[in-house]
Amino acid sequence: MHITFIRPNLGDFRGTDAMEPMVFALLASRTPASVRIAFHDERLAPVPLDVETDLVAMTVETYTARRAYQIAAHYRRRGVPVVMGGYHPTLLADEAAQYCDAIVIGDAEGVWEQIVEDARGGRLARVYRQDGDVPIDGLKPNRAIFRGKRYAPVSLVQYGRGCRLACDFCSIHAFYKRRIVQRPVKDVVAELETLPRSRPVFFVDDNLFSDVPTLTRLLEAVTPLGIRWTCQTTVDITRDDKLLALMARSGCMLALVGFESLSELNLAQIGKKWNLRRGDYTKGIRKLHDHGIMIYGTFVFGYDDDGPDAFERSVEFAIESGFCIANFNPLTPTPGTALMNRLTHEGRLLHERWWLDPRFRYGDATFVPRGMTPEQLTEGCWSARQSFYRYSSIARRVCAEPALYARPTRFGVLLASNLVSRREIRRKQGSRLGTEEALHPVEVAA
pLDDT given at position 430: 95
Mean pLDDT is lowest, of 22-26, 146-150, 180-184, 281-285, for 180-184
pLDDT tens-digit readout, 41-54 = 999 999 999 999 99
pLDDT given at position 444: 56
- At 446, the pLDDT band (50, 70, 90 cuts) reads very low
pLDDT given at position 166: 79
Residue 321 · residue 392 · CB < 8 Å? no
Residue 417 · residue 324 · CB < 8 Å? yes
CA distance 210 to 1: 41
pLDDT tens-digit readout, 185-214 = 999 999 999 999 999 999 999 999 988 999
End-to-end CA distance of the chain: 30
Instruction: Give a three-class secondary structure readout of 198-265.
Output: CCCEEECCCCCCCCHHHHHHHHHHHHHHCCCEEEEECHHHHHCHHHHHHHHHCCEEEEEEEEECCCHH
CA distance 214 to 180: 12
- At 350, the pLDDT band (50, 70, 90 cuts) reads very high
Crossing angle of helices 310-320 and 391-400, rounded to 10°: 50
**Quick one: average pLDDT of 86-90?**
95
pLDDT given at position 132: 67
CA distance 262 to 421: 23
DSSP 303-356: STT--TTHHHHHHHHHHHTT-SEEEEEE----TTSHHHHHHHHHT-BSSSSTTT
Whether 284 shows a pLDDT value over 70: the answer reads yes
Q: Tell me which residue of 297, 308, 315 sits closest to 393, measured CA to CA.
A: 315
pTM > 0.85: yes or no: yes
pLDDT given at position 277: 61
Please give the domain boundaries of the chain with CATH numbers for all domains: 2-129 (3.40.50.280), 153-406 (3.20.20.70)
pLDDT given at position 76: 96
pLDDT given at position 278: 47
State phi, psi for 105 to the nearest 5 degrees. -100, 120
Whether 109 shows a pLDDT value over 90: the answer reads no
pLDDT given at position 332: 97
Q: Percent of the chain beyond pLDDT 70?
A: 98
CA distance 302 to 276: 19
